[in-house]
Structure 1
């Protein structure tokens, strides 16, 4: 007879995500995962498979987490321009409050593994494309509402904004001050004027 799990899969998967986010794939051992997740090694294997499968599940968990956070940011913003600014500021604030590891799990993963692993490359590229598409939709909505000039190429601008968002996610891992990062955001967003 199978035993009931004594843990919440989503809770321990979130813990795995946080550890992989902080340390990366290569520097995270199974023992690190056992210690951080607070479950037995056998439970990890039985529930998620091997370390690689757990890493992929963690990355997919992160994808959903980011989509939910962006949806909240957008729905709590009064205009499209404010929504885009709030997305950039969220990256800075998240690092400042140290709620999660600094930077972006998807960016870290792309840098560490995408050239070595096609599945990882596909997943991180999809995540980046989804963010660009979200920004593109926001820009089009801004044009429809008269907030953003109609001659702005929304696709190219979305790619530009996303590229800068990735750069900001890297800079928050360094010694840049919040004031310096906010000045960078101000300059990036001049493209929307």
Structure 2
């Protein structure tokens, strides 16, 4: 059955995402994508100007998948502290069974894009900012609704929360088990309890 151009483009992005996320930008090739999709290089370049554009679209899909899954967990909770715990639980499960092969696309791309891929680095920075902003909104709303102490430094706690989780994910993935994340989760849980009313 023939695909329309939008379906072809979407297929390329969906198949490219796990390739870039597991191999990294430099190791992933257009040939890998043609093998995964059954689509010719000509068709890929008919939909994307170059490999950078494919990688960018794949990264953005990965971020959307993760952000949507987190948002669903957060919406299911009633209080700000429980919403923060839900984010931690999400990443704990993500470590064990990631919805995207290769793990967190923001973490993976931030390491590779730091110095070498300016076109991707800007998108990683924007994604991190959006995730932090979501945490800040949770805490600020918790303060307004009397669930979080008013003297909490929201920006400081947000940066601690996000950076600690991302660091624990990275270490746990390198070590090949969840022990480091488990230790960090217990510590961050105590911090959440301390700011809670």
Q: TM-score by structure 2 length? A: 0.86
Identify the residue that residue 144 of structure 2 maps to in structure 1: 144
> Matches of 1:6 and 1:53 in 2, distance apart?
15
Task: After TM superposition, give the deviation of residue 27 of structure 1 in Å.
Answer: 0.7
Most deviating of 95-104 and 117-126: 95-104
Q: 1:98 to 1:109 in 2, by over 3 A?
A: closer
Identify the residue that residue 84 of structure 1 maps to in structure 2: 84
Structure 1 portions without partners, runs of 5+: none
The one-character-per-residue Cα deviations of 1:31-89 (angstroms, maximum 9, x if unpaired) are 11111233222121111221111011111222322321221111112322122112122
Identify the residue that residue 35 of structure 2 maps to in structure 1: 35
Task: After TM superposition, give the deviation of residue 136 of structure 1 in Å.
Answer: 0.5
> Matches of 1:102 and 1:90 in 2, distance apart?
16
Task: After TM superposition, give the deviation of residue 6 of structure 1 in Å.
Answer: 9.0
Task: After TM superposition, give the deviation of residue 103 of structure 1 in Å.
Answer: 3.1
For 1:1-193, what aligned pairs fall within 5 Å after superposition?
4-5=4-5, 7-175=7-175, 177-178=177-178, 180-192=180-192, 193=194
* Contact 1:16 1:33 (8 Å CA) reproduced: yes
Q: TM-score by structure 1 length? A: 0.88
Q: 1:6 to 1:119 in 2, by over 3 A?
A: closer
Q: 1:39 to 1:6 in 2, by over 3 A?
A: farther
Task: After TM superposition, give the deviation of residue 98 of structure 1 in Å.
Answer: 4.3
Task: After TM superposition, give the deviation of residue 179 of structure 1 in Å.
Answer: 5.3
**Number of residues paired by the alignment?**
191
Q: 1:97 to 1:121 in 2, by over 3 A?
A: closer
The one-character-per-residue Cα deviations of 1:91-126 (angstroms, maximum 9, x if unpaired) are 221231243224321221111122123322211111
**In angstroms, what is the RMSD of aligned CA positions?**
2.1
> Matches of 2:78 and 2:69 in 1, distance apart?
16
* Contact 2:63 2:105 (8 Å CA) reproduced: no
* Contact 1:103 1:169 (8 Å CA) reproduced: no
> Matches of 1:99 and 1:138 in 2, distance apart?
24
* Contact 1:103 1:172 (8 Å CA) reproduced: no
> Matches of 1:115 and 1:59 in 2, distance apart?
17
Secondary structure of the equivalent of 1:78? Answer: coil
